[in-house]
Each structure stands twice: as C-alpha cells, then as structure tokens.
Chain A
Amino acid sequence: MMKEEKLSYYLNKAKIIEPNSNEKEIKIAILGSFTLNGLAEVLQVKCAELNTKLVSYVGKYNQYNQEILNSKSHLYQFNPDITFLLLDTRSILGDTYYFPYNASVSERKKIIDEKFLELEHLISYFKQTSKSKLIITNFNIPVYSPYGIYENKIEFNLKKMVMELNTKLEDIIQKENSTFLFDFDGFIRKFGEAHVFNYRQYFFGDIKVGIDYLPHLGHELMGYVKPVLGLSKKCIVVDLDNTLWGGVIGEDGFNGIKLGPYTQGRPFLELQKILLALNKRGIILAINSKNNYDDAIHVIREHPYMLIKEENFASTRINWEDKISNIQEIANELNIGLDSIVYLDDDPINRELMKASLPQILTVDLSRDPSEYGQCITDLNDFNLLQITEDDIKRSKMYNEEQQRKEFKKNIPDLENFLQKMNIKVLIKNGDNFTIPRISQLTLKTNQFNLTTKRYQEEEIKNMVNDKKFLVECAQVSDKFGDNGITGVCIVKKNDKEWNIDSFLLSCRIIGRGVEEGILGHILEQAKKEGVSKVVGQYIQTKKNEPCKDFYQKYGFEKDGEYWSFNLKNTIKIPNHLKMSVK
C-alpha cells in the first residue's frame, strides 16, 4: 500500500505552517454528508508542501443542501476556487440502504430517479451561483446484502441502484463544464471498505472515512487541486539499468538483462506499459542514464520486449556526464521547467543527489523491490489535467517533430535562412467553444514566455470572450515538420483610446521563431484598424518568465511608467518568414 503519514502528523504540522511563506493561495470549500474533521488540515499541509496557502471552509456537518441552495450562505460568501462535495451511500439512501426490497422494482427505480434529480438540482444551483469548480463524489457500491449470494439474481438490486445513480451522475458531469467527479467508490475499492469504514468511528461521530484513511483521501483530492494551481507534471525522465530493465547492460549484456513476460522481467515490462500509456496520453518521456551509448541504444532498438521505442523518448542523455547537468540539458532541450519533471531512478544515492540539487524536480522514491515500481507511478497524482485536449495527446508526437527540427537547424547555420525554410504558418483564431479549454489551459500552465502570468479558469475565459471589451485570440502554429497546435494566446482589454494587453503568452516549444512578433503585430494592426492610438502592455516579473523580459522593448514599445506603450503611428513589424492568416 502507498506510503502516507498518519492523521496526527497532519494535525500537528498544520499548526506550525508559517503563514506568509507561501507563494500562491487557494480557497477550498469542503461539504459533506458525514464528519470530515481533519481533512482540511491534511489539505492545508499538502498545499503548503506546494508553496500554497490553503484557505478552507468546512461546511456544517450534513448541511450541504442548506448551504448550496441558499445563495446567501457562508459557502457562497466564502467564494471558493474549488468545492468538494463528499457524499456517501448510507446518508443518501437512508433506510433504503438497509431495506431496499421493501420497495418494488419500479419503486426502486423511482427512488433513484428522485435522488438523481435532487443532485442534479444541487449541481445546477451551485453552478449558477458560484464560479467555483465543483467536485462531487460518486457513491460507494454496497458490498453486503441480506440476500447474500442471491442478491445478484434480483432485478435492479441495491448494487444496481447505486451503479445507476453513479452512471447518471457521470452523464451530467461529462456535459457540465468545470464540474468533476471524484470516484469515491474507486477510493473505497482501492483501500477496501473493511479498512476505510470503521463501525466504532461511525457510531462515535458519524465518521465514514476512518481517520487512518483521511490522509489518503486528502492525497486523492490533491489530484484536483494540483491542476487548478497549474502544477501538473509534463515529463518523466527515466534511468535505464534496474529501472526500465533489470540488471546492468554494461555487465549483464544484451541477453542477461531482465525484461519480458517472465517472472523477473515482468516488473520492468509492467513499468514500461504504464509509462507508455502515459506517453500516449501526452506525458513526455526522456532518458538520463550513465551508460555506454551504444550498449543502451542497442537494447532500446533491438530488445524484443523493449516496449518503449526510441521514438517515444523526446530527449536522450546516455553518457557518463553527471545526471544533474544531464537533466538540466533535457529541460532546456524540451523547453520545459524543471518543476514539470518527474525523475525515476533505482539508485537511492542518485535520488538524494537529485533532490538536494534540484528540489523542483519530483524525484520518486522508487521502491527497493522492482515489483512495486508500477504502483510507485500509479500512486502519483501529479499528471492530472482538468481538461485533456487534442494538443495534449499529440504532444509526444510534436516533441518528436521538434527533434527533427533541431537536426534540421544544425545543418543550416544561419537563423534567418533556417526560419525561411521552416515554412512557419500562424493561424489566428478567436476564442470559441473549441479553443476556450486550450486557452485556459495555456494560461494555467505557461510560465516562461508569459508576460503577465495571469491564470484563468475556463469560465473566466468564456466571460471575456463574451465581453465586447475584451479581445481573446489564440494562435495555431505549424511548420514543415508538423502541427504544433494552439500554442499562443493574447488577451486584450479594449477601450476607444487604448488597448491594454492583459495576457500574452507563448508555449515554450515554439519560442524563438518570431511567432511572438507575428501575433503581437497582428494585434497592433487590428488596434490601428479600429482607430486606437496606442497599445500598452506590462511585463510582470516572476521567477520563471525571464525569457520574455525584453519582448516589448525589442519590438519597439517605449517605457511608460509601469507599462510599455506602442504608438500606432509607428511601423508595425511582422517577420516576413511567417505566413499569417486569420480564421
């Protein structure tokens, strides 16, 4: 089972969090049909570990209906960013939980329909009243039945009733924006009802997730908090010997390493399956290994059970350099922040070194026993995204194309010439239903080329798109090697005299190709057309956005107090190697 601290650890730790040491802040409301004391403290400590201050609101015990259905309630006054609504089957079904068959089949169906309507009403009232993301639980499927083994023969039995409710709930969650499901039934399956639910605690204080499991519950809920904070990991960097395969290639040789569908090779094959599935979802893979390049690449290219192929790795460092500089090079090459990297290495010394040198990287404490490697990865809650777009899924392919671009660049020394030959196309699109999720995602995730680093949830982008005072645009960039997808965003606040660039960002994988100047030029041209005299923008410095520090100045903006200002009487430049178009 995964490692977690005890609840008392969190309760004590929560008391000694330095109030002002955190960079970010998040407001979380917790509502439930059962006692959830201690959960806020768990989340508080877990947020502090991410340099985030948690401000929490815990609803009164089992009063979630009153809180949600009253627009003046404390819940709405609190104005949360995230709201967790945690419900359990016992509370929602009442006596039906114990005596389901007092009701006929059709009555049982009616009971579920009614419960569903209540929930649907709660969700829609909440969505209308609050901007908060809503995370609602599904319901744990009961395991005990007075009918015992015969239960499964009964039409629309108790289990089926709860499953039906879960299915209906999932259906509305799939339709509703910014409403998400927490698989509470899955949580209970993962740890087992006999462990999570403790009768004495239930009778003592209506505790339905036992205090030993509250930290685990907190861990699962953090899976929703991290993407809201823009802290999702993008890349897994792996060691090779004793990590992707068993044994040491330099010593055991091609035929001696353990990898395959037999006992000792299976843990490694399993890990490769898990990593490859993440890769197919858009998580980038890279290698950082001390080895003779030829030995290692021979395994990757030729081993019959090497599931992850050479083309799945976006960056490869197989050499005798130190692993710290290797991983920094990988981050540079892929244009990603160190804090979006997860590092896997079987060697505890390498891991300690990595943690001490680059604490931003999530170095996984791989188990000593390779048979637990897979679980070490599946226990992570760091790859979650609230929105998985086409661009995410295509990402791995795009990084591969990026490799080809770099090879191409090596052969053409002159940058100007290189850019001309790249055949770069920039398609400007307006914010609409298709682009809003990606625009929001880019504002949440982009750190390096981001002039103001304003984070916007989908709902907020939608509001700006619908507001005539705002111009929300994004750019889809492609070149001779393939499509990079939507990789640039610009949000402008307009008034008659001047336009104010509220957000301007570019995904790191296309920095340095003049695209940023193309997008800015396009904005300036539009402003000119509408008869505005100047466009202003700001550079708000963060720890990470150094790469765009001089952007406005280089383009020809002039310093104007806190702002940079462009007089529209001046010439608007758009690099001539770009083919610009507007959709």
Chain B
Amino acid sequence: MNKEKLFQIVSRIFDISESEINYNSSPETIEKWDSFNGYILLDEIENEFEVKFSLDEILEIKNIGDFKLLLEKQGISFIDGK
C-alpha cells in the first residue's frame, strides 16, 4: 500500500513512529523536518517510488499530504486496496 510505504519512509528519515504521522504532518509537527532533512525525505521518496519532481513542485511542499498529491499527479494511486 502506497500510504504505508510513504509513511514508512517518513518514519525512517525523521526517526519517529508511523503512528505519529498523518497527511497533515509538517515541519511544524515534526521536529527534525528542516530544509535539509526535507530534501533527504524528498530524495528517498523519489527513489522509492521511482519518480522525479520539479524544483517548483518541491518548493510548494508544506506537509506529507503534498507528497501524496505530487505522487498522485505522477500516476501513483493512494486508493485503499491498491
């Protein structure tokens, strides 16, 4: 499941448990999410999902939900059961 996959990456990069993560998680709620770690997260997500985002897109990312939207734009489905 892609939601699980996404949250697992977030959990690994920021060293927090998956239960603490939701689509509204952002630099305000995750202490370790600074600009550099944010980039590391982005890089991992791109590698794991085999996609590439543009500079404009990455500068717009405000929370985990934004990653979901960007992934959906590239044809990755977040509908349950897939």
Contacts and interface: CB of A to CB of B under 8 A. Distances in A.
Query: Do A and B assemble together?
Result: yes
Interface of A: 7-8, 11-12, 15, 35, 37-38, 200-201, 203-205, 207, 211-212
Nearest to B54: A200
A168 B59 CA distance: 41
B39 A204 contact: yes
Which of A15, A38, A200, A203 counts the most B-chain CB atoms under 10 A from its CB?
A: A200
The 8 residue pairs across chains A and B that have the minimum distance between CB atoms: A37-B36, A200-B55, A203-B55, A8-B40, A211-B43, A8-B44, A205-B35, A204-B39
Contacts of A203: 55
B28 interface: no
A240 B36 CA distance: 48
B49 to A, nearest CB: 15
Given A8-B13, A12-B15, A15-B15, A201 B40 contact: no
A205 B36 contact: yes
Counting contact residues on chain B (CB < 8 A from A), the size range is: 10 to 19
Contacts of A212: 43
Interface SS majority for chain A = helix
Contacts of B54: 200
A352 B58 CA distance: 45
A211 B55 contact: no
Contacts of A207: 39
B12 interface: yes
Contacts of A35: 36
Contacts of B36: 35, 37-38, 205
A160 to B, nearest CB: 33
B42 to A, nearest CB: 9
B39 A201 contact: yes
A196 to B, nearest CB: 15
Contacts, number: 33
A205 B36 CA distance: 8
9 contacts: A7-B40, A8-B13, A8-B44, A12-B15, A38-B36, A200-B54, A200-B55, A200-B58, A205-B36
Interface string B19-49: 0000000000000000111011001100000
Nearest to B43: A211
A200 to B, nearest CB: 5
Given A203-B55, A204-B55, A211 B15 contact: no
Contacts of B55: 200, 203-204
Contacts of B40: 7-8, 11, 38, 211
Contacts of B59: 204
Name the residue in B39, B40, B59 with the highest tally of chain A Cβ atoms < 10 Å from its Cβ.
Answer: B39
A8 B43 CA distance: 10
A13 to B, nearest CB: 11
A469 B59 CA distance: 63
A37 B38 CA distance: 12
B60 to A, nearest CB: 12
A554 to B, nearest CB: 56
Given A8-B40, A8-B44, A38-B36, A204 B58 contact: yes
Contacts of B44: 8
A8 B12 contact: yes
Nearest to A35: B36
Contacts of A204: 39, 55, 58-59
Given A201-B39, A204-B58, 8 more contacts: A8-B12, A8-B44, A11-B40, A203-B55, A205-B36, A205-B39, A207-B39, A211-B43
Interface in B1-27: 12-13, 15
B12 A211 contact: no
Nearest to A198: B43
B37, B43, B44, B54 pick with most chain A CB within 10 angstroms: B43
A477 to B, nearest CB: 54
A205 B59 CA distance: 11
Contacts of A205: 35-36, 39
A461 B36 CA distance: 42
Contacts of B12: 8, 12
Contacts of B37: 11
A38 B35 CA distance: 12
Nearest to B53: A200
B56 to A, nearest CB: 10
A201 B12 CA distance: 21
A35 B43 CA distance: 16
A494 B16 CA distance: 58
A8 B39 CA distance: 11
